[in-house]
């Protein structure tokens, strides 16, 4: 028998065919995304090395990374980063916990679970601008529903001007964003839960595991992939939060809700410093990329998901 004649031809060409088909499917959207996004990305990166005031025929002076140095040396920049970090950490932790809870609830198929899953879409479907305006009215210190509720429950004697308190304002914006975004996390996790074979759970129950042990040892590890997805999506989005801040507080009171994206907006548009704004955008990208890499390092286990 001449084994060298036996070539594993079929397996090679099949996987090559799979890869080629995969590329063919991705190609159209990849081309459009690259076309629309690539030029602005490169152009912005280039711009971040210039002193570039907005306007027609304004001189653009190359300044050797001065924009980056000035930003990294500015204490206001780091204060903004720490505010953004606070927003991100609190948001993501709350959203994961609540999302997991809601996913479990739906998964356990209580009475009306279909309605629950359907109604979950509504906060997610409302445009952020609309939900921001709605929450601003809810928090209003003159006419707000939150004040009305607390008053009726007898918890407060006078209406509280929530949005004028720097300590509270950030947390209230987090709450508004949480309401808007938790459905996404819940649905991602619920879909993953539905994919866990029910026999595992039943077998564990038979072996005497209680609900918490089943959750901790079976469900959670099998949800690792979905949690990773939700974590990355939500961390990147929370770090870059802009529109809900713009609508509810416009960065106030006393700049307590100015996040890094809001600072980038202020630098670029009202202040007209395009170079510094471009540098800020890239710094944000570097921060979020770092976070994503950290997550993948710690959580991505490809062999477990097969």
Q: How far is the CB of 34 from other proteins (least distance, A)?
A: 5
Q: Which parts of 218-257 interact with other proteins (CB under 8 A)? A: 249-255
The CA-atom distances, in angstroms, between 13 and each of 21, 29, 64 are: 12, 25, 50
When the beta carbons of 255 and 285 are compared against other proteins, the nearer one is 255
When the beta carbons of 163 and 193 are compared against other proteins, the nearer one is 163
What torsion, rounded to 10 degrees, do the Cα atoms 250, 176, 149, 126 define?
100
Cβ–Cβ < 8 Å for 67, 48: yes
44 binds other proteins (CB under 8 A): no
Residue from 4, 11, 35, 210 touching other proteins (CB under 8 A): that is 35
Comparing C-alpha atoms, which of 123, 107, 118 is closest to residue 195? 107
Cβ–Cβ < 8 Å for 95, 178: yes
- Which span (104-112, 114-122, 181-189, 266-274) binds other proteins, by CB under 8 A? 266-274
Q: Which parts of 268-297 interact with other proteins (CB under 8 A)? A: 269-272
Q: How far is the CB of 209 from other proteins (least distance, A)?
A: 52
Q: Which parts of 48-107 interact with other proteins (CB under 8 A)? A: 53-58
Q: How far is the CB of 21 from other proteins (least distance, A)?
A: 13
34 binds other proteins (CB under 8 A): yes
Q: Which parts of 110-169 interact with other proteins (CB under 8 A)? A: 140-143, 158, 161, 163-166
When the beta carbons of 92 and 163 are compared against other proteins, the nearer one is 163
Comparing C-alpha atoms, which of 32, 166, 163, 194 is closest to residue 86? 166
Q: Which parts of 14-33 interact with other proteins (CB under 8 A)? A: 27, 31-32
How big is the site for other proteins, counted in residues (CB under 8 A)?
36
Residues in contact with other proteins by CB under 8 A are 27, 31-32, 34-36, 38-39, 53-58, 140-143, 158, 161, 163-166, 249-255, 266, 269-272
């Amino acid at each position: 028998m001449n084994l060298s004649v036996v070539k594993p031809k079929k397996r090679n060409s099949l996987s090559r065919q799979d890869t080629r088909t995969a590329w063919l499917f991705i190609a159209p959207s990849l081309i459009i995304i690259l076309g629309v996004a690539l030029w602005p990305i490169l152009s912005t990166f280039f711009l971040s090395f210039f002193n570039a005031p907005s306007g027609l025929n304004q001189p653009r002076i190359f300044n050797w990374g001065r924009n980056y140095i000035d930003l990294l040396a500015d204490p206001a920049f780091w204060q903004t980063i720490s505010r953004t970090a606070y927003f991100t950490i609190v948001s993501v932790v709350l959203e994961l916990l609540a999302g997991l809870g809601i996913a479990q609830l739906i998964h356990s198929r209580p009475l009306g679970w279909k309605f629950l899953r359907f109604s979950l879409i509504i906060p997610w479907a409302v445009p952020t601008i609309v939900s921001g305006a709605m929450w601003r009215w809810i928090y209003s210190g003159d006419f707000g529903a939150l004040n009305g509720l607390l008053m009726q429950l007898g918890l407060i004697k006078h209406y509280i001007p929530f949005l004028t308190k720097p300590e509270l304002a950030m947390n209230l914006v987090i709450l508004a964003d949480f309401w808007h975004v938790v459905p996404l996390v819940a649905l991602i996790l619920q879909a993953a839960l539905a994919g866990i074979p029910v026999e595992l759970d039943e077998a564990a129950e038979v072996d005497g595991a209680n609900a918490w042990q089943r959750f901790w040892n079976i469900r959670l590890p099998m949800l690792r992939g979905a949690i990773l997805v939700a974590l990355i999506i939500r961390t990147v989005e929370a770090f870059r939060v802009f529109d809900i801040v713009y609508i509810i507080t416009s960065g106030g009171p006393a700049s307590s809700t100015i996040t890094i994206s809001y600072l980038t907006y202020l630098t670029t548009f009202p202040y007209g410093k395009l170079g510094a704004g471009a540098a800020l955008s890239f710094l944000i990208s570097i921060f979020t990329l770092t976070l994503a890499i950290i997550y993948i390092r710690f959580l991505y286990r490809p062999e477990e998901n097969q």
